[in-house]
Amino acid sequence: MFVKHLIVAHALLLTIARMLYPGHLNNSVLWVANTLDFNKTYDASVFETTIRVVGGLLSTYDLSGDNIFLEKARDIADRLLPAWDTPSGIPYNIINLARGNAHNPGWTGGDSILADSGTEQLEFIALSQRTGDPKYQEKVEKAIVALNKTFPADGLVPIYVNPNDGTAYGTITFGAMGDSFYEYLLKAWIQGNKTSSVKPYRFFVPTLPHRIRPPFAHYRAL
Ligand SMILES: *[C@@H]1O[C@H](CO)[C@@H](O)[C@H](O)[C@H]1NC(C)=O
Ligand SMILES: *[C@@H]1O[C@H](CO)[C@@H](O)[C@H](O)[C@H]1NC(C)=O
Ligand SMILES: *[C@@H]1O[C@H](CO)[C@@H](O)[C@H](O)[C@H]1NC(C)=O
Ligand SMILES: *[C@@H]1O[C@H](CO)[C@@H](O)[C@H](O)[C@H]1NC(C)=O
Protein backbone atom coordinates (compact mmCIF):
# COMPACT_ATOMS: atom_id res chain seq x y z
CA MET A 1 0.00 0.00 0.00
CA PHE A 2 2.75 2.36 1.04
CA VAL A 3 4.62 1.61 -2.18
CA LYS A 4 1.54 2.34 -4.26
CA HIS A 5 1.13 5.68 -2.53
CA LEU A 6 4.73 6.50 -3.20
CA ILE A 7 4.38 5.68 -6.87
CA VAL A 8 1.24 7.79 -7.15
CA ALA A 9 2.97 10.68 -5.36
CA HIS A 10 5.98 10.31 -7.63
CA ALA A 11 3.89 10.30 -10.80
CA LEU A 12 1.98 13.31 -9.58
CA LEU A 13 5.18 15.22 -8.85
CA LEU A 14 6.48 14.37 -12.28
CA THR A 15 3.29 15.64 -13.91
CA ILE A 16 3.54 18.88 -11.95
CA ALA A 17 7.22 19.19 -12.83
CA ARG A 18 6.37 18.68 -16.50
CA MET A 19 3.75 21.41 -16.34
CA LEU A 20 5.92 23.91 -14.47
CA TYR A 21 9.33 23.16 -15.92
CA PRO A 22 8.91 21.52 -19.31
CA GLY A 23 12.27 22.73 -20.56
CA HIS A 24 14.10 21.49 -17.48
CA LEU A 25 12.74 18.01 -17.78
CA ASN A 26 13.58 17.86 -21.45
CA ASN A 27 17.04 19.18 -20.67
CA SER A 28 17.60 16.36 -18.24
CA VAL A 29 16.52 13.85 -20.87
CA LEU A 30 18.91 15.44 -23.35
CA TRP A 31 21.69 15.48 -20.79
CA VAL A 32 21.25 11.77 -20.10
CA ALA A 33 21.11 11.04 -23.83
CA ASN A 34 24.07 13.16 -24.93
CA THR A 35 26.36 13.79 -21.98
CA LEU A 36 25.99 10.99 -19.46
CA ASP A 37 28.92 8.66 -20.19
CA PHE A 38 29.69 5.67 -18.01
CA ASN A 39 32.90 4.73 -19.79
CA LYS A 40 35.09 6.11 -17.01
CA THR A 41 38.26 4.65 -15.56
CA TYR A 42 36.66 4.91 -12.14
CA ASP A 43 36.48 2.32 -9.37
CA ALA A 44 32.78 2.27 -8.55
CA SER A 45 30.98 0.59 -5.67
CA VAL A 46 28.84 -2.11 -7.29
CA PHE A 47 26.20 -1.75 -4.59
CA GLU A 48 25.99 2.06 -4.55
CA THR A 49 25.98 2.24 -8.35
CA THR A 50 23.22 -0.35 -8.54
CA ILE A 51 20.82 1.16 -6.04
CA ARG A 52 21.37 4.77 -7.07
CA VAL A 53 22.25 4.76 -10.77
CA VAL A 54 20.63 1.59 -12.15
CA GLY A 55 17.66 2.06 -9.78
CA GLY A 56 17.31 5.76 -10.59
CA LEU A 57 17.46 5.19 -14.33
CA LEU A 58 14.92 2.36 -14.17
CA SER A 59 12.54 4.41 -12.04
CA THR A 60 12.83 7.29 -14.48
CA TYR A 61 12.24 4.90 -17.36
CA ASP A 62 9.11 3.56 -15.67
CA LEU A 63 7.79 7.05 -15.04
CA SER A 64 8.73 8.66 -18.35
CA GLY A 65 8.58 5.72 -20.74
CA ASP A 66 11.62 7.24 -22.47
CA ASN A 67 13.82 4.46 -23.80
CA ILE A 68 17.04 6.38 -23.27
CA PHE A 69 16.81 5.68 -19.53
CA LEU A 70 16.50 1.95 -20.10
CA GLU A 71 19.45 2.01 -22.52
CA LYS A 72 21.57 3.84 -19.98
CA ALA A 73 20.50 1.47 -17.19
CA ARG A 74 21.61 -1.42 -19.37
CA ASP A 75 24.88 0.33 -20.21
CA ILE A 76 25.89 0.82 -16.58
CA ALA A 77 24.59 -2.63 -15.52
CA ASP A 78 26.67 -4.28 -18.26
CA ARG A 79 29.71 -2.51 -16.85
CA LEU A 80 28.94 -3.88 -13.38
CA LEU A 81 28.21 -7.46 -14.44
CA PRO A 82 31.82 -8.77 -14.47
CA ALA A 83 31.84 -8.19 -10.69
CA TRP A 84 29.76 -11.38 -10.36
CA ASP A 85 32.30 -13.52 -12.24
CA THR A 86 33.72 -15.17 -9.12
CA PRO A 87 34.00 -18.88 -8.30
CA SER A 88 31.09 -18.64 -5.83
CA GLY A 89 28.90 -16.12 -7.66
CA ILE A 90 29.24 -13.72 -4.71
CA PRO A 91 30.22 -10.43 -6.38
CA TYR A 92 33.29 -8.36 -5.85
CA ASN A 93 32.18 -5.03 -4.41
CA ILE A 94 34.23 -2.63 -6.55
CA ILE A 95 34.62 -2.51 -10.31
CA ASN A 96 36.29 -0.21 -12.78
CA LEU A 97 33.57 1.07 -15.08
CA ALA A 98 35.75 1.36 -18.19
CA ARG A 99 38.09 -1.58 -17.66
CA GLY A 100 35.77 -4.07 -16.00
CA ASN A 101 38.35 -5.28 -13.48
CA ALA A 102 36.74 -6.03 -10.13
CA HIS A 103 38.09 -6.37 -6.62
CA ASN A 104 37.17 -5.95 -2.97
CA PRO A 105 38.24 -3.13 -0.66
CA GLY A 106 41.66 -3.71 0.94
CA TRP A 107 40.36 -3.44 4.50
CA THR A 108 38.13 -6.53 4.23
CA GLY A 109 41.12 -8.79 3.66
CA GLY A 110 39.86 -9.62 0.17
CA ASP A 111 36.36 -10.60 1.21
CA SER A 112 33.03 -9.28 -0.01
CA ILE A 113 30.64 -7.49 2.32
CA LEU A 114 27.24 -9.10 2.87
CA ALA A 115 25.14 -5.95 2.29
CA ASP A 116 27.19 -4.97 -0.75
CA SER A 117 26.84 -8.44 -2.24
CA GLY A 118 23.16 -9.07 -1.53
CA THR A 119 21.61 -5.72 -2.39
CA GLU A 120 21.34 -5.66 -6.17
CA GLN A 121 18.45 -8.08 -6.67
CA LEU A 122 15.58 -5.62 -7.13
CA GLU A 123 17.31 -3.47 -9.73
CA PHE A 124 18.80 -6.33 -11.74
CA ILE A 125 15.58 -8.36 -11.70
CA ALA A 126 13.68 -5.23 -12.80
CA LEU A 127 16.23 -4.69 -15.58
CA SER A 128 15.79 -8.27 -16.83
CA GLN A 129 12.02 -7.85 -16.78
CA ARG A 130 12.21 -4.63 -18.80
CA THR A 131 14.88 -5.71 -21.32
CA GLY A 132 13.75 -9.32 -21.65
CA ASP A 133 17.38 -10.35 -21.09
CA PRO A 134 17.65 -12.81 -18.18
CA LYS A 135 21.40 -12.38 -17.62
CA TYR A 136 21.03 -9.64 -14.99
CA GLN A 137 18.57 -11.61 -12.90
CA GLU A 138 20.68 -14.77 -13.21
CA LYS A 139 23.77 -13.10 -11.78
CA VAL A 140 22.08 -11.65 -8.71
CA GLU A 141 20.10 -14.79 -7.99
CA LYS A 142 23.21 -16.92 -8.15
CA ALA A 143 24.60 -14.85 -5.28
CA ILE A 144 21.52 -15.67 -3.19
CA VAL A 145 21.83 -19.36 -4.03
CA ALA A 146 25.50 -19.22 -2.97
CA LEU A 147 24.62 -17.58 0.34
CA ASN A 148 21.88 -20.15 0.81
CA LYS A 149 24.48 -22.92 0.76
CA THR A 150 26.15 -21.64 3.90
CA PHE A 151 23.10 -19.97 5.36
CA PRO A 152 22.84 -20.87 9.06
CA ALA A 153 19.59 -22.38 10.28
CA ASP A 154 18.70 -19.22 12.20
CA GLY A 155 18.77 -17.16 9.03
CA LEU A 156 21.53 -14.81 10.09
CA VAL A 157 24.60 -14.35 7.91
CA PRO A 158 27.89 -12.79 9.07
CA ILE A 159 29.02 -9.65 7.24
CA TYR A 160 32.16 -10.94 5.48
CA VAL A 161 31.74 -13.39 2.61
CA ASN A 162 34.57 -15.10 0.76
CA PRO A 163 33.91 -14.65 -2.98
CA ASN A 164 35.86 -17.82 -3.78
CA ASP A 165 33.93 -20.35 -1.71
CA GLY A 166 30.95 -18.36 -0.40
CA THR A 167 31.75 -18.96 3.27
CA ALA A 168 30.80 -16.17 5.66
CA TYR A 169 32.37 -15.05 8.93
CA GLY A 170 32.44 -12.10 11.35
CA THR A 171 29.80 -10.06 13.08
CA ILE A 172 26.07 -10.58 12.53
CA THR A 173 24.27 -7.26 12.34
CA PHE A 174 21.27 -5.44 10.96
CA GLY A 175 23.32 -2.27 10.96
CA ALA A 176 25.92 -1.20 8.43
CA MET A 177 27.30 -3.96 6.20
CA GLY A 178 24.41 -6.32 6.88
CA ASP A 179 21.17 -4.33 6.81
CA SER A 180 20.06 -4.08 3.21
CA PHE A 181 20.71 -7.76 2.46
CA TYR A 182 17.79 -8.64 4.75
CA GLU A 183 15.72 -5.79 3.33
CA TYR A 184 16.18 -7.05 -0.20
CA LEU A 185 15.16 -10.61 0.64
CA LEU A 186 11.80 -9.28 1.68
CA LYS A 187 11.51 -6.80 -1.16
CA ALA A 188 12.43 -9.38 -3.81
CA TRP A 189 9.70 -11.63 -2.46
CA ILE A 190 7.22 -8.77 -2.81
CA GLN A 191 8.59 -7.68 -6.21
CA GLY A 192 8.12 -11.25 -7.45
CA ASN A 193 4.47 -11.17 -6.36
CA LYS A 194 5.16 -13.74 -3.63
CA THR A 195 5.08 -16.57 -6.16
CA SER A 196 6.94 -19.87 -6.08
CA SER A 197 9.70 -18.43 -8.28
CA VAL A 198 10.72 -16.07 -5.49
CA LYS A 199 10.23 -18.58 -2.71
CA PRO A 200 13.98 -18.77 -2.02
CA TYR A 201 13.87 -15.19 -0.81
CA ARG A 202 10.92 -15.91 1.43
CA PHE A 203 12.69 -19.01 2.68
CA PHE A 204 15.33 -16.85 4.33
CA VAL A 205 13.01 -14.44 6.04
CA PRO A 206 10.81 -16.58 8.32
CA THR A 207 13.51 -17.52 10.79
CA LEU A 208 14.32 -13.88 11.47
CA PRO A 209 11.39 -12.90 13.73
CA HIS A 210 12.44 -15.44 16.35
CA ARG A 211 15.57 -13.43 16.90
CA ILE A 212 14.45 -9.89 16.25
CA ARG A 213 12.12 -7.54 18.03
CA PRO A 214 9.55 -5.41 16.17
CA PRO A 215 9.32 -3.81 13.67
CA PHE A 216 10.77 -6.88 11.95
CA ALA A 217 8.33 -9.21 13.67
CA HIS A 218 5.47 -8.15 11.42
CA TYR A 219 7.24 -9.70 8.43
CA ARG A 220 5.56 -12.93 9.47
CA ALA A 221 2.25 -11.49 8.35
CA LEU A 222 3.54 -11.33 4.79
C1 LIG B 1 9.48 18.60 -24.07
O2 LIG B 1 9.28 17.32 -24.64
C3 LIG B 1 7.93 17.04 -24.92
C4 LIG B 1 7.83 15.59 -25.35
O5 LIG B 1 8.89 15.21 -26.16
C6 LIG B 1 7.43 18.01 -26.00
O7 LIG B 1 6.08 17.78 -26.28
C8 LIG B 1 7.59 19.45 -25.47
O9 LIG B 1 7.24 20.37 -26.48
C10 LIG B 1 9.03 19.70 -25.01
N11 LIG B 1 9.10 20.99 -24.34
C12 LIG B 1 10.09 21.85 -24.51
C13 LIG B 1 10.00 23.14 -23.73
O14 LIG B 1 11.02 21.65 -25.26
C1 LIG C 1 36.22 3.64 -22.90
O2 LIG C 1 37.33 4.11 -22.13
C3 LIG C 1 38.52 3.41 -22.39
C4 LIG C 1 39.56 3.83 -21.38
O5 LIG C 1 39.56 5.23 -21.21
C6 LIG C 1 38.94 3.67 -23.83
O7 LIG C 1 40.13 2.97 -24.12
C8 LIG C 1 37.83 3.19 -24.77
O9 LIG C 1 38.12 3.52 -26.10
C10 LIG C 1 36.48 3.82 -24.40
N11 LIG C 1 35.42 3.16 -25.13
C12 LIG C 1 34.44 3.84 -25.71
C13 LIG C 1 33.40 3.02 -26.40
O14 LIG C 1 34.38 5.05 -25.67
C1 LIG D 1 18.16 -23.13 -0.04
O2 LIG D 1 18.43 -24.15 0.87
C3 LIG D 1 17.32 -24.95 1.20
C4 LIG D 1 17.72 -25.90 2.29
O5 LIG D 1 18.94 -26.53 2.02
C6 LIG D 1 16.82 -25.66 -0.07
O7 LIG D 1 15.66 -26.38 0.24
C8 LIG D 1 16.49 -24.60 -1.10
O9 LIG D 1 16.12 -25.22 -2.33
C10 LIG D 1 17.67 -23.70 -1.36
N11 LIG D 1 17.29 -22.64 -2.25
C12 LIG D 1 18.09 -22.22 -3.22
C13 LIG D 1 17.59 -21.10 -4.06
O14 LIG D 1 19.20 -22.69 -3.39
C1 LIG E 1 4.09 -9.01 -10.55
O2 LIG E 1 2.84 -8.44 -10.87
C3 LIG E 1 2.94 -7.24 -11.64
C4 LIG E 1 1.56 -6.63 -11.76
O5 LIG E 1 0.62 -7.64 -12.09
C6 LIG E 1 3.60 -7.55 -12.99
O7 LIG E 1 3.76 -6.38 -13.73
C8 LIG E 1 4.98 -8.17 -12.73
O9 LIG E 1 5.59 -8.55 -13.94
C10 LIG E 1 4.86 -9.37 -11.82
N11 LIG E 1 6.19 -9.84 -11.48
C12 LIG E 1 6.58 -11.09 -11.65
C13 LIG E 1 7.98 -11.40 -11.28
O14 LIG E 1 5.84 -11.96 -12.08
Write out pLDDT tens, residues 16-35. 666 666 666 677 788 888 88
- Determine the structural domain holding residue 11 and report its residue range: 1-35
Domain count, the chain: 2
Fill in the amino acid letter for 50.
T
Residues 19 and 81 in one domain: no
Give the atom of ligand 4 at the shortest distance from the alpha carbon of 198: 13
Residues 16 and 89 in one domain: no
Residues 147 and 196 in one domain: yes
> Distance, CA 148 to ligand 3 centroid (Å)?
6
User: Ligand 1 pocket, 27 CB below 6 A?
Assistant: no
Residues 17 and 53 in one domain: no
> Distance, CA 41 to ligand 2 centroid (Å)?
9
Under 8 Å between Cβ of 163 and 90? yes
> Distance, CA 33 to ligand 3 centroid (Å)?
42
Give dist(CA 13, CA 30) in Å, integer. Answer: 20
- Reply yes or no on whether the pLDDT at 47 is more than 80: yes
Residues 183 and 103 in one domain: yes
Of these ranges, 29-33, 151-155, 202-206, 213-217, the one predicted with the greatest mean pLDDT is: 29-33
User: Ligand 1 pocket, 23 CB below 6 A?
Assistant: yes
List the one residue out of 197, 56, 202, 185 whose CA is nearest residue 121: 185
CATH number at residue 82: 1.50.10.10
Give dist(CA 172, CA 116) in Å, integer. Answer: 14
> Distance, CA 13 to ligand 3 centroid (Å)?
42
- Reply yes or no on whether the pLDDT at 163 is more than 80: yes
Residues 28 and 127 in one domain: no
The pTM of the whole model exceeds 0.85: no
- In which band, very low, low, confident or very high, does the pLDDT at 190 lie, cut at 50, 70 and 90? confident
Determine which residue's CA is closest to atom 4 belonging to ligand 2.
98
Residues 30 and 66 in one domain: no
